[in-house]
Structure 1
Amino acid sequence: MKNILLIFITMWSIQSLANNLTIEVNPVQPVVGEQFSLLFNIETTERDEPYISFNPGTARVVGRNSEGQSVMTSIVNGKISIKKTISFRYSLVAEKSGNLRISDIVVDLAGTKLTHKDLRLTVLKEAPETPDIFVLAVPSKTDVFVGEGVDVNYYLYTRLNVIASQIKEYPKLSDFVKRFQNPDERTETVEYGGRVFYRASKYMARVYATAPGIAKIDPLRLEVNYAKGDPNSFFGMSARNMMKRTLTSKKVELNVRPLPTENLPTNFTGLVGKHDFKLSVPRTKYLVNEAVEAKLEVTGEGALENFNAPKIYNSEFLEEFDTKSEIVPLNNQVVRKDFEYTLLARDHLQIDTRVETFYYFDPDAERYIGVDVEIPAIEVGGSASASVNKNKPTESRVTQELKKEEKREISLLAPTFIGSEEKGLAVNFYYLNLGFSGAILLILLSMVRFSVVRIPEEIQEHYHALNKGRYTYTDMFQVLSKLNGDGGVLTKIETSEMNEESKKYFTRLYKGIEQEVFKNQKNTVNNKIKRKHLKELERVLKV
């Protein structure tokens, strides 16, 4: 019975994977009273014709045509597999301007139902006049969840002879965590507004909205040198036809939805999109005072820049050092973040094997998905070099060495050779010397300003990088994002409690780092931050 059930489940899974539905909207922004189309592309292994249904909202369906079908035959392990793609085009007319929602999209394939998420369109009152050259920001989607990745391409559309182009102002994208990508500047031919254009990507970024509501994709300013005339004609490029123009793309708004609170796991990672987790522990047995090492690799399409190292092993007899992290780009959508853990075993201990579940949010399925990771057992044995208090972890090796150094410093007084008849005088000089040294020490201590570090634990690693003067854009973003207030980093700086001089300093510094990372494509910045401004930032950071 179990075998029959397993075969049925397997056949159902294969059948589900064999069917797929995609929908193309043309034009993406319809005009009131003018037709637009929905092209349904259905991949299936079924022979029956699909039944399509949907709710057109305030639009009116005026026609349906079959766009034909294509058949692909393949042979795998001696078995013939036939897969076909059927296309149907529906013609609609929008009755009024504004937002249009096409919902309840279902395709029935011999009892197997394919669904598609709602289509949200913007209907224009009248068709805009399309110029011969312009810049357009094109996001991969406009309805997203907080933390969901969106690819934004800034395209140059032209019907003219473009000689050269240069970016004059980069988009701020302050509503997002952003990751620069190398644009594909190959020219392609596309249709826009009923006309044929050449277009090429001039700037590209993957962005992640940080808060629900409306997130704005800021404009890009591009300076273009071009010649009037046929773009395929060399003779149209005379000197008097040469032109220079600065183009600015329009702002694009994304509708950002909050993550659902229903069935929210307690150990949700905060990551949105598919992610994999891989833990490697080279050894499971250690000696006391020996380093325990582990490496966690997290791979996915989410904003891993914001993902901090999760706790792997927890014991009062494990002294944890700063966990090193590094982001490795794999492609335009997926990166890998490596965490290297180093712990020091201070006493005998044994930690059993356990399974930790890491949850991410799937924006397509709109549900939380867990990935189980086995945390291997570790055992620490052998003889400790010193006795250990069972109720309190022993001092670290570094602390012990510092105390030894302090003792050495106290004993570094010049020896005094004392004769029997000079003993009394020498003793007086000794105490006088000791008192004088103590007075100097008190004066020096009074000149030192002691301050309590007010840096939240989750950003201490990033703050230390800023303090050292060798840091990344991610380090700067993580620290400044902890400032109180709403909005992006620049807004938080402006509304923070820092003095005006420090506000201006960090605003210039943040913009400069963006320039280095997104224009010059530098991963690490070497720039010592002025101490007084770093102290001012430290003062206002939330504990």
Structure 2
Amino acid sequence: MIQRLLTQKNLLLLTVLLLPLQGLKAQESVTFTAEAPRTVVMGQQFNLVYTANAEVKDLRIPEMSDFEILMGPSTSTMSSTSIINGKVSNSVTYRITYVLYPKKTGTFTINGATATIKKETHKSNSLTIKVLAADQQAAANAAQSTASQAGRGTTQVGDDQIFIRAVPSKTTVFEQEGLTVTYKLYTRVDISGFENPKFPEFKGFMAQEIELPANQQWDLENYNGSNYRTAILKQTVLYPRETGNLTIDKGSFDVILQLRVASPRRGSIFDGFFDTYQEVKKTLYSNPVTVHVKSLPFGKPADYSGMAGQLSMTSTINATEVTANDAVTIKVTLTGNGNLKMLPTPDLTFPQDFEIYDPKVENRFTTTAKGVSGSKVIEYLVIPRYAGTFEIPAATLSYFDLSSGTYKTLSTKPYTLKVAKGKEGDQVVSGNFSNKEQVRLLGSDIRYLKTGFSLRKPAVLMLGQTWYWLTYALLLFFFCLFLFIYRKQAKANADISRVRNRKANKVAVKRLKLAARYLAEKKGEAFYEELLKALWGYTSDKLTIPLSRLTKETIDSELAAGNVSEALRGEYAAILQACEYARYAPAESGQAMDELYKKTLEVINKMENTIKK
């Protein structure tokens, strides 16, 4: 009995200690929000609702001079109880409703309201409400159309009742200046489904599709004096790669309409009760769009990147004083808005004695209706092999600034790198061997001498035998041969450029195999990216030019010096351009991708047989 009383006492004490914590948790989880339609029509009232999960006291709503309060505040309470795994939880929702009436058309903001909840002041979110003009004429036309349909017993819907618009954000742009095309559905009738969307191909543009939210809501919009329910079907950011007038063709879209079929009964108040609904398929076509693309002004800088937009460039280095054979990393960050995915890698020039690795590129891009924005981070890794003081000059990159209408040049910082002598000397010879060996003694380090044996003089000395000297001669010959091959291999391995040259075709074939796998899996962007890596990597290895210094102009001049014909150089450049554009343009057919893959194999094989290094 005493033990039971002690247990109850402990439970009571624990409950008293936990009550403040529960109150604190409840206090932290207070919610107070405001809700109202985003769009309303002039002449129609709507509800403004404040919702909280605890009792609301001293509610103070903001001044709403653009709206008339018809009714309110009206308070309602809803409570619920749930039991999960034997744990009982209660929740209460308080709703305070005002009925508002718009005084004029336009876009208005209702600031947040304040209220005292659990002895603390809380503020709700603000709201932006768009008031559309009333479409009395359109409503009259719709009523007349409905009455006509009911009289004829048909289910035809006029083109002014539902349609699709292609809405460009701009119709006049510069080359490589982005614009957004929005495909929007306008309807005054009910829709039960969609079928066979066929959006146009954006010929002459590089396209970046904007990801739309999965749970899109209908919105209201006034168009040509009529109010429609609207929904965005597709949004795409386009970057023109040609000048002149570019036309975006019309697209098609099948919608399933749910139309009300009037009852044949006449003159009864129950006519609407006997009406039925019929599903009707209607094909909608979007309007074609013509965009005028202006050429960029004369006077492009030599290092022009091909980008139009806004851009900034910064650079950092991990250390300016190192020892020989220590890694040095320079990070360059490009930040801006525009066709960032086509932005080239800045060309950093390093001393000839540095071991240079391919730069690591990380893209952090976001595509919205305002275009592609974000940053491109490039890390350059080099290893100085000798002691001394070295200069790394600034790298430059130019672009066309849309806000000022001029070309602007950005540059990284120049760096002075002091390299001290390493512990093992300045010079390092590369090879497939190690300059340190681990020696391991098997068995014990002291051996016992064998005793109890006798020596005797041989009958014939080996020193005077012919086979003895012949054996020495053969051993000497094989030693010299081994030494010759060993030194030749070490010398060849020390020349990294020659090693890369010999393995260029092998590495390219390996990358092409990966591209073939992406082709079979119909992963278009990955296929084109791997194809580009194979082409750029092959020419970098074959021409012994680091990727950071590789440009189309450099490739063309080096291939010409390597006795590559102009026709073959043209095929190579065409494949490069096709891959770069196809990565960001609308997806091509599998047959086109297969033909491009075969063409790439053919061009690499021809170049392998032509270039002599």
Q: TM-score, normalised by structure 2?
A: 0.46
Give RMSD over aligned pairs. 5.4
SS in 2 for 1:326: strand
SS in 1 for 2:306: strand
Residue type matched to 2:297 in 1? P
SS in 2 for 1:228: strand
Choose from 506, 509, 529 the match for 1:475: 529
Residue type matched to 1:197 in 2? Y
Q: Using the alignment, how far apart are the partners of 1:370 and 1:305 within structure 2?
A: 19
**2:263 is aligned with 1:227:** no
**2:321 is aligned with 1:273:** no
**2:214 is aligned with 1:182:** no
Q: Using the alignment, how far apart are the partners of 1:174 and 1:297 within structure 2?
A: 32
Q: Using the alignment, how far apart are the partners of 1:371 and 1:363 within structure 2?
A: 15
* Superposition map of 1:203-242 within 5 A: 203-228=234-259, 241-242=278-279
Q: Give the structure 2 partner of residue 362 of structure 1.
A: 401
* Superposition map of 1:63-212 within 5 A: 130-166=159-195, 168-183=197-212, 185-212=216-243
Choose from 401, 413, 438 the match for 2:431: 401
Choose from 253, 272, 275 the match for 2:290: 253
Q: Using the alignment, how far apart are the partners of 2:274 and 2:385 within structure 1?
A: 77
The structure-2 alpha-carbon separation of the partners of 1:319 and 1:191, relative to structure 1 and needing over 3 Å to count, comes to: same
Offset of 1:339 from its aligned partner?
Answer: 1.2
Q: Using the alignment, how far apart are the partners of 1:69 and 1:157 within structure 2?
A: 20
Q: Which runs of 5+ in 2 are unaligned?
A: 1-104, 109-157, 262-271, 436-464, 482-500, 519-524, 537-551, 553-569
Residue type matched to 1:203 in 2? K
Give the paired residue count. Answer: 346
The structure-2 alpha-carbon separation of the partners of 1:155 and 1:530, relative to structure 1 and needing over 3 Å to count, comes to: closer
SS in 1 for 2:602: helix
Larger strand percent: 1
Residue type matched to 1:247 in 2? L
Q: Using the alignment, how far apart are the partners of 1:201 and 1:452 within structure 2?
A: 51
Residue type matched to 1:213 in 2? G
Q: Do the aligned partners of 2:355 and 2:385 also contact (CA within 8 Å) in 1?
A: yes
**2:326 is aligned with 1:290:** yes
Q: Using the alignment, how far apart are the partners of 1:320 and 1:385 within structure 2?
A: 21
Q: Give the structure 1 partner of residue 443 of structure 2.
A: none
Residue type matched to 1:287 in 2? T
Q: Using the alignment, how far apart are the partners of 2:252 and 2:160 within structure 1?
A: 16
SS in 2 for 1:377: strand
Choose from 331, 347, 356 the match for 1:320: 356
Q: Do the aligned partners of 1:161 and 1:227 also contact (CA within 8 Å) in 2?
A: yes
SS in 2 for 1:223: strand
Q: Do the aligned partners of 2:171 and 2:292 also contact (CA within 8 Å) in 1?
A: yes
Offset of 1:68 from its aligned partner?
Answer: 12
Q: Using the alignment, how far apart are the partners of 2:356 and 2:191 within structure 1?
A: 58
Aligned residues with identical type, % of pairs: 21
The structure-2 alpha-carbon separation of the partners of 1:345 and 1:387, relative to structure 1 and needing over 3 Å to count, comes to: closer
Q: Which runs of 5+ in 1 are unaligned?
A: 1-66, 71-128, 389-393, 406-419, 435-449, 455-459, 483-495, 517-526
Residue type matched to 2:408 in 1? I
Cα deviation per residue 1:486-522 (whole Å; 9 max; x = unaligned)?
A: xxxxxxxxxx969xxxx9xx99xx6999669xxxxxx
The structure-2 alpha-carbon separation of the partners of 1:260 and 1:531, relative to structure 1 and needing over 3 Å to count, comes to: closer
Q: Give the structure 2 partner of residue 536 of structure 1.
A: 602
Q: TM-score, normalised by structure 1?
A: 0.51
The structure-2 alpha-carbon separation of the partners of 1:474 and 1:243, relative to structure 1 and needing over 3 Å to count, comes to: same
Cα deviation per residue 1:63-115 (whole Å; 9 max; x = unaligned)?
A: xxxx9999xxxxxxxxxxxxxxxxxxxxxxxxxxxxxxxxxxxxxxxxxxxxx
Offset of 1:425 from its aligned partner?
Answer: 10
Q: Do the aligned partners of 1:211 and 1:256 also contact (CA within 8 Å) in 2?
A: yes
Q: Using the alignment, how far apart are the partners of 1:353 and 1:183 within structure 2?
A: 45
Larger helix percent: 2
Q: Using the alignment, how far apart are the partners of 1:539 and 1:199 within structure 2?
A: 55
Q: Do the aligned partners of 1:146 and 1:257 also contact (CA within 8 Å) in 2?
A: yes
Cα deviation per residue 1:411-463 (whole Å; 9 max; x = unaligned)?
A: xxxxxxxxx898779999x999x9xxxxxxxxxxxxxxx99969xxxxx99x9
The structure-2 alpha-carbon separation of the partners of 1:239 and 1:320, relative to structure 1 and needing over 3 Å to count, comes to: farther
Q: Using the alignment, how far apart are the partners of 2:325 and 2:186 within structure 1?
A: 64
Q: Do the aligned partners of 1:347 and 1:384 also contact (CA within 8 Å) in 2?
A: no
Offset of 1:143 from its aligned partner?
Answer: 0.6
Q: Using the alignment, how far apart are the partners of 2:222 and 2:181 within structure 1?
A: 19
Residue type matched to 1:174 in 2? K
